[in-house]
Chains A and B, each alone.
Chain A
Amino acid sequence: MHNGTQTLRSSAAGVSPSETFAEVSTVSAAAPLMSVRDLRVSFPSEDGLVPAVRGVSFNVLPGQCFGIVGESGSGKSVTSLALMGLLPPGPGSIIEGEVNFGGRDLRRLRPEQMRKLCGSEIAMVFQEPMTSLNPAFTVGDQIAEVVVTHEHVSVRAARARALELLKEVRIAAPERRLDEYPHRLSGGMRQRVMIAIALACRPKMLIADEPTTALDVTVQAQIMELLRVLQGEYGMSIILISHNLGVMSEIADEIAVMYAGRIVEQAKSAQLFENPEHPYTIGLLGAIPMPGRKRLASIRGRVPDLHALPSGCTFAPRCPFVEEACRQIEPTLHPTDLQHLTACRRAPLDRVL
């Protein structure tokens, strides 16, 4: 299930369970490319603030694929949009925390500086391939634009690069696509174009927010395979967001599980699949059959309303292991095993199970 490259790539250094939360908010110790610290996002609404992301911290190492999973509404997209500075500006959203990238805090950059990074060093592929391309411009123009924006090249050279990129994302008949408008392309092809745009300036980091959710099952596998191959070719870091653990298992080195705006469990991919600690992760895993382990019941109930989060552990209303103390204070992410963080007061659950 796990490919060999994953073990090769992981630059794991031991983190003792006794280290404090701040120091071990990642499970690996190499110098991270991106380091997110206590990211918080809330949206003002008529019924008060909606806390969509409530203190998320993680590190992404160079060349690493960092996965974020969680049910719909857990704050995955909001987290990724916050990293890119793409949330509604002004009074539309309230963002706190740090996003360190290559030694700079992106949240403190001036818009002009942030603009220079976006599309060149950090790029993003969105959840909605059907609507993410501009209907009024050709595919070639839209790819060439990002090249012209960040590199001092002629329009002609940018166009040549666009064609090259279309070939790299293995689109059929790339020469013809160059002058076509997005509406002529299928969802899978549009997502390939989005990937071409994202890769155009050879970014150090690619944020892929559910790049396959909107696509047919067969196309999903193709796009994931493409991302895996391209990561190898480009050597970039990827933050891969999905609510499908099966997709994750094939590509992510490390996985964070999000629930109601927080990371509730984080570990190396293999560790998470073999030894999940948080009842929510165990529930999610129940949805994909794993060899050698008996299927666990899938999670009953629904994600909590962000307007009225339950007190204490936000998972308590759905948790089969809930006890009275769970409802008192919200558990924080703490080491429950080697390179393994869990936000559950009863973890590790081995003794309970």
Chain B
Amino acid sequence: MTLGGFMLRRLASIIPTLIFVSIIVFSLQQLIPGDPAIAMAGDELNDEAVQEIRVKYGFDQPFYVQYFKWIGNVVVGDFGASYRNKMEVLDLILTKLPVTLQLAVFSMIVALIIGIPTGIIAATHKDSFIGTAANLFALTGVSIPHFWLGIMLILLFSVNLGLLPSSGYVPPWEDLRQNLLSLIMPSIVLGTGVAGVITRHTRGAMLQVLSSDYVRTARAKGVAERIVVSKHALRNALIPVITLSTIEFGQLLSGAILTEQIFSIPGFGKLIVDAVFFREYAVVQGVVMVTATLFILLNFVADILYFVVNPRMRSANG
């Protein structure tokens, strides 16, 4: 099978998935307690105003009518508008998305740089103190609560040492240096958590691969142990780790809420918290829909990577 053919097949399966996701997103929305019309009416809280809003936004119509109206607009890129600041939801998303994306990418880099080597060491030194230490490190990474690590970092690097900004976000096109500085601590907080997961999986995959017959063959060939590990074993062990990393990346996009709050980073996390708080249906739906779509696209990318690194996939038929 060619890469092109493979991509087409996977793309075709994305559409029904997206439709399903949109139904879920729209349905769950109905579960958020409180009446959006009342929230939107704000100060002018009288029955007429509320009723007017209901009619205006279609809240009085049956569920499926609302859904089709919404999805019809979404398809052409119209997610509606925020009633609070009258901004288009799409614009709102587009201003927040790069922030979250940048944070997620940085965190992922931190996670991979720490996680993969630690995982390899944990596997190759499994019977010694070094391996135990690597394991412990990974376990610490996953179990330390984000808010605690975040606050500790702020106390150390911002309050005591004054090296890094404690909060806020500066877009890279305004001040690149400031932008990078502001993302260091949040990326470490998010990245170390993910690094623990990556370490564990790298270790597991490496242990399995290192006891495989083909690694034994490599050793029988007289290949240096360093090359056995970095070439023969790692190449195969990374296949499951790649899949895991893309899933973790998706989690970073949607799951940075707490960290964004700690460091006052105006990303997706903050957007969605505010939107739920103010019952902004359109915004919540838009954000969740976009996140879900990104997630699905990430899986698509993971599959492509998997296909590229795994020659066996290339000849799978059907």
Using a CB–CB cutoff of 8 Å, the interface residues on chain A facing chain B are 84, 86, 88, 90-91, 111, 115-120, 123-124, 126, 128, 131-137, 145-146, 149-150, 181, 183-184, 194, 197
- Spot the interface stretch: B78-86, B92-100, B165-173, B209-217: B209-217
Q: Establish whether residues A118 and B217, one from each chain, have CB atoms under 8 Å apart when the complex forms.
A: no
When C-beta atoms are compared, the residue in chain B nearest to A148 turns out to be B223
**Residues of the B chain whose Cβ atoms lie less than 8 Å from the Cβ of A115:** 222-225
Q: Establish whether residues A134 and B220, one from each chain, have CB atoms under 8 Å apart when the complex forms.
A: no
Q: How far is the CA of A181 from the CA of B235 in the complex (A)?
A: 14
Residue B56 at the A interface, CB < 8 A?
no
**Residues of the A chain whose Cβ atoms lie less than 8 Å from the Cβ of B219:** 86, 118
Q: Establish whether residues A124 and B315, one from each chain, have CB atoms under 8 Å apart when the complex forms.
A: no
Q: Establish whether residues B213 and A128, one from each chain, have CB atoms under 8 Å apart when the complex forms.
A: yes
Q: How far is the CA of A86 from the CA of B312 in the complex (A)?
A: 27
Q: Establish whether residues A135 and B236, one from each chain, have CB atoms under 8 Å apart when the complex forms.
A: yes
Q: Establish whether residues B225 and A111, one from each chain, have CB atoms under 8 Å apart when the complex forms.
A: yes
Smallest Cβ distance from A189 to chain B, in angstroms? 15
Q: Establish whether residues A123 and B220, one from each chain, have CB atoms under 8 Å apart when the complex forms.
A: yes
**Residues of the B chain whose Cβ atoms lie less than 8 Å from the Cβ of A149:** 221-224
Q: Establish whether residues B220 and A136, one from each chain, have CB atoms under 8 Å apart when the complex forms.
A: no
When C-beta atoms are compared, the residue in chain B nearest to A201 turns out to be B222
When C-beta atoms are compared, the residue in chain B nearest to A135 turns out to be B312
Smallest Cβ distance from B186 to chain A, in angstroms? 36
Residue B127 at the A interface, CB < 8 A?
yes
* A120 and B216 contact, Cβ closer than 8 Å, known pairs A134-B236, A136-B236: no
When C-beta atoms are compared, the residue in chain A nearest to B311 turns out to be A181
Q: Establish whether residues B222 and A132, one from each chain, have CB atoms under 8 Å apart when the complex forms.
A: no
Q: Which of B187-231 contact A (CB under 8 A)?
A: 211-225
Q: How far is the CA of A118 from the CA of B224 in the complex (A)?
A: 11
Q: Establish whether residues B221 and A197, one from each chain, have CB atoms under 8 Å apart when the complex forms.
A: yes
Q: Establish whether residues B214 and A86, one from each chain, have CB atoms under 8 Å apart when the complex forms.
A: no
* A183 and B311 contact, Cβ closer than 8 Å, known pairs A90-B127, A133-B214, A134-B236: yes
**Residues of the B chain whose Cβ atoms lie less than 8 Å from the Cβ of A86:** 216, 219-220
Q: Establish whether residues B235 and A136, one from each chain, have CB atoms under 8 Å apart when the complex forms.
A: yes
**Most-contacted residue by chain A among B213, B222, B235 (CB, 10 A):** B222
Q: How far is the CA of A88 from the CA of B219 in the complex (A)?
A: 12
**Residues of the A chain whose Cβ atoms lie less than 8 Å from the Cβ of B279:** none
Q: Interface size for chain B: under 10, 10 to 19, 20 to 34, or 35 or more residues?
A: 20 to 34
* A126 and B216 contact, Cβ closer than 8 Å, known pairs A135-B236, A135-B311: yes
Q: Establish whether residues A133 and B217, one from each chain, have CB atoms under 8 Å apart when the complex forms.
A: yes
Q: Establish whether residues B222 and A119, one from each chain, have CB atoms under 8 Å apart when the complex forms.
A: yes
**Residues of the A chain whose Cβ atoms lie less than 8 Å from the Cβ of B314:** 181
Q: Establish whether residues A135 and B220, one from each chain, have CB atoms under 8 Å apart when the complex forms.
A: no
* Cross-chain contact of B212 among A111, A131, A137 (Cβ < 8 A): A131
Q: Establish whether residues B311 and A150, one from each chain, have CB atoms under 8 Å apart when the complex forms.
A: no
When C-beta atoms are compared, the residue in chain A nearest to B211 turns out to be A88
When C-beta atoms are compared, the residue in chain B nearest to A92 turns out to be B127
A-B contacts, 25 listed (Cβ < 8 Å):
A90-B127, A111-B225, A115-B222, A115-B225, A118-B220, A119-B221, A123-B220, A124-B220, A126-B216, A128-B213, A132-B213, A134-B217, A135-B214, A135-B236, A135-B312, A145-B218, A146-B222, A149-B221, A150-B222, A181-B311, A181-B312, A181-B314, A181-B315, A184-B315, A197-B217
When C-beta atoms are compared, the residue in chain A nearest to B219 turns out to be A86
**Residues of the A chain whose Cβ atoms lie less than 8 Å from the Cβ of B113:** none
Residue B232 at the A interface, CB < 8 A?
yes
Contact with A along B268-311 (1 / 0, CB 8 A): 00000000000000000000000000000000000000000111
Q: Establish whether residues A134 and B315, one from each chain, have CB atoms under 8 Å apart when the complex forms.
A: no
Q: How far is the CA of A147 from the CA of B122 in the complex (A)?
A: 31
**Residues of the B chain whose Cβ atoms lie less than 8 Å from the Cβ of A137:** 232, 235
Q: Establish whether residues B222 and A136, one from each chain, have CB atoms under 8 Å apart when the complex forms.
A: no
18 further contact pairs, Cβ within 8 A, besides A86-B219, A134-B214: A90-B127, A111-B225, A115-B222, A117-B222, A120-B222, A123-B220, A128-B213, A131-B213, A134-B215, A134-B236, A135-B214, A135-B236, A135-B311, A136-B236, A137-B235, A145-B218, A184-B315, A197-B217
**Residues of the B chain whose Cβ atoms lie less than 8 Å from the Cβ of A134:** 214-215, 217-218, 232, 235-236
Contact with A along B243-270 (1 / 0, CB 8 A): 0000000000000000000000000000
Q: Establish whether residues A116 and B222, one from each chain, have CB atoms under 8 Å apart when the complex forms.
A: yes
When C-beta atoms are compared, the residue in chain A nearest to B312 turns out to be A183
Smallest Cβ distance from A147 to chain B, in angstroms? 10
When C-beta atoms are compared, the residue in chain B nearest to A85 turns out to be B219
Smallest Cβ distance from B214 to chain A, in angstroms? 4
* Cross-chain contact of B217 among A117, A132, A183 (Cβ < 8 A): A132
Q: Establish whether residues B216 and A132, one from each chain, have CB atoms under 8 Å apart when the complex forms.
A: yes
Q: Establish whether residues B222 and A126, one from each chain, have CB atoms under 8 Å apart when the complex forms.
A: no
When C-beta atoms are compared, the residue in chain B nearest to A133 turns out to be B214
Smallest Cβ distance from A242 to chain B, in angstroms? 19
**Residues of the B chain whose Cβ atoms lie less than 8 Å from the Cβ of A91:** 127
Smallest Cβ distance from A25 to chain B, in angstroms? 26
**Residues of the A chain whose Cβ atoms lie less than 8 Å from the Cβ of B217:** 126, 132-134, 194, 197
Smallest Cβ distance from B268 to chain A, in angstroms? 37
* Cross-chain contact of A126 among B213, B223, B235, B309 (Cβ < 8 A): B213
**Residues of the B chain whose Cβ atoms lie less than 8 Å from the Cβ of A197:** 217, 221
**Most-contacted residue by chain B among A116, A120, A131 (CB, 10 A):** A131
**Residues of the A chain whose Cβ atoms lie less than 8 Å from the Cβ of B213:** 126, 128, 131-132
Q: Establish whether residues A84 and B214, one from each chain, have CB atoms under 8 Å apart when the complex forms.
A: no
